[in-house]
Each structure stands twice: as C-alpha cells, then as structure tokens.
Amino acid sequence: MTPLHQVIKEKNTKINPVWIMRQAGRYLPEFMTIRKLNPNFINLCLNEELSSEITLQPLKRFNLDAAIIFSDILMLPYGLNQEVKFVKGFGPKLGKVNINEMSKLDEVDFVQKINPVYKAIRKVSENSLLKNKNTIGFVGAPWTLLVYIINQQSPKKNLKKDFFKDDFLINRTLLILEKFLKLHIKNQIDNGADVIQIFDSWAGLLEEKDLPNYVYSPTLNLVNYVKSLNTPVICFPREIKNYKKFCNIVNPDAVSIDYNIDPKKILNDINIPIQGGLDPKILLTDKETIKKKATRYLDIFKDHPYIFNLGHGVLPETDPNMFEYMVNTVKNY
Ligand code: 1CP
C-alpha cells in the first residue's frame, strides 16, 4: 500500500508521507520555462503532454510521495461554458453566468471540453515515477467555486456586496455544481487518481451561521460520493474557525489544516488523519528555521496519522533548494 494510503486507511503513525500544495508551479524554473512559452493558462492545462510533464517535474527533483495533477479548480466553470481567463498580475477573470445555458449543459459535452485533464491524469498515474506513490485528483469545494462563479474574480480583491442577493441563482448554481463535481471526480478516479482533495479556499469568508448551507451540506454530499467510489478524500476548509465541528459533520478521510491552526489544539480536537499546517512563508527563511518549524509539526503529530504538507500553497518566490531541504528534513525525521 502507498505511504499516503497507509496513513489515511490504516492510521499508520510510523511514517510521514509528504506532498506539497502547488508543488507543480511557479517556484520551479523548469515550470517557468514552459509557462513563458504558453501564456494561455487554460490551454496549458488542456495540453496533456505539457500538463503531465509539469505534474512530474517536482517528482523528478524531490522525494515526494504523491503527484498533484497540474490543472485548476476553475477548469470546472470553464467546462460549464463560463468564460474563464487568467490575467497576468490580476488573477482569474470569469464571464457572466448564464444559468439557463448552464442548466441545460450535457454531461458528455462537459467531459469532452476538459478531457485532456483526464488524459493527463492517466499519463501521470501510469508513469514509473509514480510507483508506490499516489496521483492526487482535486476539485474546488462547491462554496469556493460558487464564489468565483458569482463574484467573477478572486474575493481577495473584493466580494460583491450583493453576492447573496439572488437566492434562485445561488441555489441553482449549487445544484449544477454538485452534479458536475461528481462527474469530474468520477472521471479523475477512473483515469488513475487514487486520492481526492477538496479545496475550500474561501470557507473562511463565511459566518458560522452560513456554514451548514454552503460548506457542511454540499461538501458532505461530495465526501460521501468519493467514499462510495472507494477512494480516500481529504478536505481543506481553509480558515474556518472550527475544524472540529467541520470534521464531526463532514467526516472526510483526512483533513488539511491551514497555518492559523494551533497544531497542539487540533491534535486534541480531531481523531481523523491530519495533513499540512506549516506556514509557506517559513520556506523563505533559512535552513535552521525550516528544520525547527517542520520538526515541530512532526513532533506534535508523532503519535497521530499525519501527512506532511504546508498550510497553503508554496509561494512563487520560494527557493527550490529550500523546498528540497524541507522535504529531506521530513524524510530523515
Ligand atoms: O503561472 C501562473 O500564472 C498560474 C498560476 C497557477 C497555478 C500554477 C494557477 C492560477 N493555478 C495553478 C495550478 C493549481 N491550482 C493547482 C495545480 C497543482 C499543484 O498544486 O501543484 C492546484 C491544485 C490549484 C488549485 C487552486 N486554484 C485553488 C485552491 C488552492 C488554493 O491555492 O487555495 C484556487 C483558489 C485556485 C484558483 C486560482 N488559480 C490560479 C490563480 C491565480 C487562482 C486565484 C487565487 C486567488 O483567488 O487568490
């Protein structure tokens, strides 16, 4: 059994598998070389030769236990025929939703449109570099995708004042998302993904009272669906205040924690396997600090099933040598 599966399924506490969010990406010069020649990000995700190559780049350099497929959570609205563009220096820009068109969209057309993503997963999972390692498929959680679809840009800049105004639009969109997210997950698994991570990057924007509607309930549906396909599912409800309640209700196979979470407290709060936590900014310091901070997580979770990762994606300005030093620190622990 792969190290990740041993931790998630057998609750093995003797090993610490490691993979890193955004391990395939902008901090690697070999990625930037490809990226410069491919200014259209969506087209790059839809190029199965290049996207599988990018996915494998970090595995060629570092002693990682899993590949995460080079794609994006916004390939889903793209597949739903919403216009999606990644604008340099700005981030994603989405077109206006046409809810009637979206409601009529055929599943075959959706799969056709983003089919290279599945082909890339197949290529990666069959590569010899993945021997005894996992291929991680992923989706954005319904809430986080709803944010991008309705807000039409990152909420980091601002969330529309009238975001919640149109109940009909929101509820219809969530139903459509549930249907196509299941399809997207199923296709990733059928093509070789053997772990699914659900990114709820904007869960922290919601007030406590809105979590049941927008986070717990739609995520629980997806988690149960992934479990029904006999595949482990990891949830990352970034920046929610109460991970304990989230885990009690949604009960994923593992939970990924952000860097605001006190690891000692979560250890007492949560029984399921834990992933991540270390602040990505630590990688911008020095080796001594990296060793100290990474070891702290490993020490705290030494008797708890734990997958090493960061508390959010690796920053673009990270030195690959520091990344390597962190991975080796975990491996030599
Ligand atoms: O080169 C570039 O300019 C593109 C940068 C980039 C990359 C490398 C984007 C744009 N997406 C990705 C790949 C990506 N995105 C992966 C690939 C695999 C890996 O992890 O190595 C994954 C898993 C994602 C997931 C993703 N995309 C999330 C969830 C995780 C998180 O970071 O919170 C989100 C929110 C996105 C949206 C997105 N994609 C890209 C941007 C600039 C954004 C917007 C972020 C924001 O709103 O602030």
Residue 94 lies in a domain: yes
Residue nearest to atom 22 of ligand 1 (CA): 72
- Provide mean pLDDT across the span 316-327: 98
Is the CB of 74 within 6 Å of ligand 1? yes
Ligand 1 atom nearest to 138, measured from its CA: 23
Residue 321 lies in a domain: no
Per-residue pLDDT tens over the stretch 233-258: 999 999 999 999 999 999 999 999 99
Residue 189 lies in a domain: yes
pLDDT at 159: 84
Residue 139 lies in a domain: yes
β-strand 274-276 against 306-307: which pairing, if any? parallel
Domain limits for position 81: 20-258
Ligand 1 atom nearest to 140, measured from its CA: 29
Is the CB of 24 within 6 Å of ligand 1? yes
**159/43: higher pLDDT:** 43
The C-alpha atoms of residue 308 and residue 327 are separated, in whole angstroms, by 9
- Provide mean pLDDT across the span 9-32: 97
- Provide mean pLDDT across the span 147-170: 92
Residue 6 lies in a domain: no
Look at the chain and report how many structural domains it folds into.
Answer: 1
- Provide mean pLDDT across the span 30-54: 98
Residue 5 lies in a domain: no
Q: What CATH number has the domain bearing residue 69?
A: 3.20.20.210
How many angstroms does the Cα of residue 233 sit away from the middle of ligand 1? 19
How many angstroms does the Cα of residue 72 sit away from the middle of ligand 1? 6
Residue 268 lies in a domain: no
Is the CB of 199 within 6 Å of ligand 1? yes
Residue 92 lies in a domain: yes
Q: Is the pLDDT of residue 314 over 80?
A: yes
Is the CB of 311 within 6 Å of ligand 1? no
